Amino acid sequence: MRCFWTALGLAASLTAQAGVLLEAQVFDRYSPLAAADEFSRRVFTPTTFDRLQRFQQAIGQRAVEHTVDLSLERFDIFLPSRKPPGGYGLIVFVSPIPRWPLTYDWKKVLDREGVIYVSARRSGNQQNVYERRIPLALHALENIRARYPIDPERVVISGFSGGSRTAMRIAAAYADVFTGALLIGGAKVMGEEDFAPPPLPIMQALQTRMRVVYSTGKLDMPNRRLDARSIAALKTRCVAGVFKIDEPDIGHEVPDRRTLQRALKRLDAPLEPKLLQAQQPCLAELAERVEADVAAAEQAYQQHDHVTAGELLGAADLAWGGLASERLVTLARALAPGFAEAPRDVDGERPDDAAGRDPG
């Protein structure tokens, strides 16, 4: 009988210590990081942002400040049972489907490590990246930081599959806000499509502070190839904190308990001085590449070859973005004093190759 009551007490204690999933929460604080001008400055290329600003001035209208109505949105929060001395860690998770089912393994690790998890509903691959997916993640961050004490050195953006591609964009554009990124099931490639380096101070935070962990299953070959290109693009741009933490026996799935623990440990640790020291030759080489590409576009313009200048400018704008903002914008204004159309909407984040499509 004594053993029975001891076991019952232990079970009750474990239940009391478990974290809790708070479903369908409503938030009411809008993030200034998602406000129109600040968002555009961070997310779009320098020349695109400049065109938007000039277009608004010309028509005498401003873009809508926020693109979602928070009273209509719902968020799921996992709240761990204990608060670490320095405050909770935080993972903002971007789902590829309308609502992400947080796994038992993840709940156990998040509870043990004192990490809050938050994920917006209706933020899957079919939703617009600019109007919903990125802003909802930023509003989630804003509201969790208002409700709970968060350790500013443990703020991670994460996602799975198409959500991972959006998470990569957020990690770059808000590298001065998030300290880490956990990318699962394929990541966006900087310098391709519409994904350029952010403004210089933010890019420097990405290069010297951000921890970027790729954790795609070893059997998920289409997305491992995508990860390889994404990693190479970051290393070309001298991002020091790039790491891979694999789980050998899974395909297009989220990592299990042990792999997640390893990833969180890496994300919690600041970059070692040796990594930053090894980065110096890369930064010098990068500066030379940026200078050469921008100078080539400027030279073509000076030689009145505006077609070539425009082509070279477009390539440099996408490849180097905030690393050469002022010169890129100056040349763009010289080539096109009028206004081009605003950037097109992003049709989700195109999930994977045909062999590895996103769920939902």
- Judge residue 292's burial from the number of C-beta atoms within 10 Å of its C-beta, 0-12 exposed, 13-18 middle, 19 or more buried: exposed
pLDDT tops 70 at residue 3:
no
Question: What value does the mean pLDDT take over residues 4-18?
Answer: 41
Q: Sort residue 245 into left (φ over 0), alpha (ψ -120 to 50) or beta.
A: beta
% residues pLDDT > 70 (the chain): 89
Which CATH number goes with the domain that contains 213? 3.40.50.1820
pLDDT of residue 344: 53
- Residue 157 sits in the same domain as residue 91: yes
Task: Look at residue 350 and tell me if it is in a domain.
Answer: no
| 145, 179 Cβ separation under 8 angstroms | no
**Which pair of tokens denotes residue 174?**
């808000």
- Judge residue 180's burial from the number of C-beta atoms within 10 Å of its C-beta, 0-12 exposed, 13-18 middle, 19 or more buried: buried
Give φ, ψ of 19 to 5 degrees: -70, 175
- Residue 219 sits in the same domain as residue 318: no
Domain-ending residue, one of 243, 272, 301: 272
Convert the pLDDT of each residue in 309-334 to its tens digit.
Answer: 999 999 999 999 999 999 999 999 99
Convert the pLDDT of each residue in 40-94 to its tens digit.
Answer: 999 999 999 999 999 999 899 988 999 999 999 999 999 999 999 999 999 999 9
Q: Which domain holds residue 328?
A: 280-335
What pLDDT band is residue 11 in, cutting at 50, 70 and 90?
A: very low
Task: Look at residue 12 and tell me if it is in a domain.
Answer: no
- Residue 195 sits in the same domain as residue 314: no
Look-up of token digits 């959500």: 163
What pLDDT band is residue 339 in, cutting at 50, 70 and 90?
A: low
Residue 182: its H or E element: strand 180-184
pLDDT of residue 12: 36
Convert the pLDDT of each residue in 279-303 to its tens digit.
Answer: 999 999 999 999 999 999 999 999 9
pLDDT of residue 6: 40
d(Cα 137, Cα 153) in Å, to the nearest integer? 18
pLDDT of residue 228: 98
pLDDT of residue 351: 40
Domain count, the chain: 2
| 72, 19 Cβ separation under 8 angstroms | no
- Residue 253 sits in the same domain as residue 307: no
Mean per-residue pLDDT over the chain, rounded = 91
Higher-pLDDT residue of 339 and 121 is: 121
d(Cα 296, Cα 275) in Å, to the nearest integer? 32
Domain-ending residue, one of 255, 272, 289: 272
Amino acid at 145: R
**Which pair of tokens denotes residue 68?**
């979602």
- Percent composition of the chain: helix, strand, coil (DSSP 3-state, to 5): 50, 15, 35
**For the chain, what's the residue count?**
360
Using DSSP, state whether 183 is helix, strand or coil: strand
- Residue 246 sits in the same domain as residue 290: no
d(Cα 270, Cα 211) in Å, to the nearest integer? 8
What pLDDT band is residue 247 in, cutting at 50, 70 and 90?
A: confident
| 142, 30 Cβ separation under 8 angstroms | yes
Question: What value does the mean pLDDT take over residues 234-253?
Answer: 95
